Structure 1
Amino acid sequence: MMKPVTAQDLQTAGFVPERRRGPAVSVAQATVDAIQTMIRTGHLRPGESLPPQRNLARDLSVSRATLREALSILATIGEITAKPSGRGFVCADPGEKPATPSWRFAARYSLREVYQFRHVVESYAAQLAAIGHTDPELAELRECLQTFRRAALAGDISLYAQADFDFHHLIMRICRNKLLVDMHQTFASILLESQRLPTERRGNLMHAVQEHESILEAIAIRDPEGASYYMRKHISMAGSRAGLPLSELP
C-alpha cells in the first residue's frame, strides 16, 4: 500500500499549492512535475498503483479536474499506464519505455517548431471551419473520423497516421483560406511525420480519436472558440505523445 503523500514529498517535488500559484503557472503542469518527481525519487514505484484520484487530489491540493488533466498527460508520455479494468493507473516500468523516436526532419525544422506551427495555424483553421462549413463538408469530416477510429481499433498504424493527417487537412480546406491550404500541402510530408511519431510511443491510440471527436463536435455546432480550444489542446497532447518535453509544448 502506498504511504501517504507528505508535505516534505511535495516540497521535494517543487510543488506549489494551487492557492499560492501565480496566474502564469500551469496548475496541471505543476501537478505533472510533482508526480514525476515522486516517481523519480521512488515514492511511487514501477508497477505500483496510484492512490484513488480523490485522495491524490486532496494530498496535492488541486481539483479533480486538474488531476485528471495531469494524469492524462502522464499517460500519453508513458509515465503511467491505465489498469486493464480502466479504473486507476499504475506507474510504468522505466525499463519498458521505448526510446523517443527520431525526428528525421531535424536538419530543417525542430519538432518543437513543427508543433508550434500546427498550434497556431490549425487552431485558427478550426475556428474558421466552425464558422463557414457546409453540411457535405461536415459529413466528410465525420467519415474521416470513422476511418481514424477504425484504424485505431485495428491497430493499423499506417492508416491511422494517414487518417489523422486527412482529418486535419480537411479542416484546413474547409477554412477556405487558400494560403493556409497550400502551406499545409507544401509541408505535407513533415506534418504527416509529426502525426506518425506519437504512434511509436506507448499509449492508447483512442486518445487522439476522442480529441478529434471534440474538435468535430465544436465545428458541427458552429462554436469557433470551442473548435480553436479543442484543436490547441489536441496539438499539445499530440506533442506530448510525440516525445516533446512539457517545457517545449506549444
Structure 2
Amino acid sequence: MTKHDVQDARGKAVFPLPEQRERREPGGAVAQATVAALQAMIRDGQLRPGDVLPPQRTLARDLKVSRATLREALSILATIGEIVAREGGRGFVCADPSDVGARPSWRFAARYSLREVYQFRYVVESYAAELAAVGHTEQEIVDLKDCALAFRKAARASDLAAYAQADFDFHNLIMRISRNNLLVDMHQTFASVLLESQRLPTERPGNLLVAVQEHDRIVEAISMADPDGANYYMRKHISMAGSRAGLPPSELP
C-alpha cells in the first residue's frame, strides 16, 4: 500500500487520492472526489449497511482532505440517503437501501424552516443576479457558462451528488460576481444550509433538466447586462426550486 492509499476502519486500502489535490482543485471538486471515495467503500462492501463510519478525524486524515471538505462530502451522502446520522448526532452509519426511514429529510429544521431558507434565497440571490448583470467581466461569463455546463452534464448523467454541487457552485459564483462582499460572506456562512436546500429537489421525482434550463436563462440575462431579467429569472428559479424541494404553494416565495 502506498502513502496515497486510503484505509477503512478495517485497515484495507480502498481508494487512492492524489497527494496535494486539495490545494490544487476548487473546493467543490475536492468534495466530489471525497464523495466518490466514500461511495467506492460502500459499493465495494468495505462499508456495509449498518456499519458505523470511522471518526471524521480519521477519515479526513486517511482521505487527505480537510475536516470541512469531509463534512461537506458526508452531508452530500446523507442527503442522497447513502449514510444516516446516528441517534444523538454522533457520527454516521451506512444506510440500508431497504430501510424507508433512511430517506433524507430537512435536517436543519431545528434552526430554520425550509420556507425561511427559500425566502432568504429568493431575496438575496435575485439581487445578486441583478448586480452581476451590471458588473461582470467577460471571463466571469465564461466561468458562469462553465458552471452551467457542469450542471447540465450532471443532470444528463443523473449524478445527483454532482448535480447538487454544480447547482451550489453556480449560485455561489453569481454571489461573487455581484461584488458585494457581505452577500458573499452570508452565502458562505450558510453554505451547508443552502447546499442542503439545493439537494432536496434531487430526492423528488422530476426532470433534472428543467432546472438546467432555468440556469441557462439566468446566464443569458446576466451576459446581456439585463439586471431586470436576471432578477426575474432568478426569482422564478428559486420559487420553482422551492416547489421541487417539497414546499407547498402557500409557502413558496
Q: 3-state DSSP class of the match of 2:247? A: coil
> Which residue of structure 2 lines up, in the alignment, with residue 187 of structure 1?
190
Mapped to 2, the partners of 1:121 and 1:207 lie a distance apart of 22
**Pair 1:167–1:191, CA change in 2 (3 A):** same
1:147 has 2:150 as partner: yes
Do residues 158 (structure 1) and 180 (structure 2) align? no
Equivalent runs, 1:89-168 vs 2, <5 Å: 102-168=105-171
For residues 1-250 of structure 1, what are the structure 2 equivalents within 5 Å?
102-250=105-253
Distance (Å, rounded) in 1 between the aligned partners of 2:165 and 2:182 = 22
Q: Which runs of 5+ in 1 are unaligned?
A: 1-99
> C-alpha displacement at 1:148, in angstroms?
0.3
8 Å contact kept, 1:201–1:241: yes
Query: What residue identity is the alignment partner of 1:187?
Result: F
Q: Give the conservation status (yes or no) of the 8 Å contact 1:101–1:243.
A: no
Amino acid at match of 1:168: H
- Structure 2 residue matching 1:152: 3-state secondary structure: helix
What's the TM-score, normalizing by structure 1?
0.60
- Structure 1 residue 102, shift from structure 2 partner: 1.5
**Structural RMSD (CA):** 1.3
Q: Percent identity between the aligned chains?
A: 76
Q: Which amino acid aligns with 2:185?
A: D
Per-residue Cα deviation, 1:92-128 (whole angstroms, up to 9, x for no partner): xxxxxxxx95100000000000000000000000000
Q: Structure 2: 5+ residue runs without aligned partners?
A: 1-102
The separation in 2 between residues aligned to 1:185 and 1:207, in whole angstroms, is 26
Query: Cα 1:143–1:218, aligned 2, differ >3 Å: closer, same or farther?
Result: same
How many aligned positions are there? 152
Q: Distance in 2 between matches of 1:149 and 1:118?
A: 22
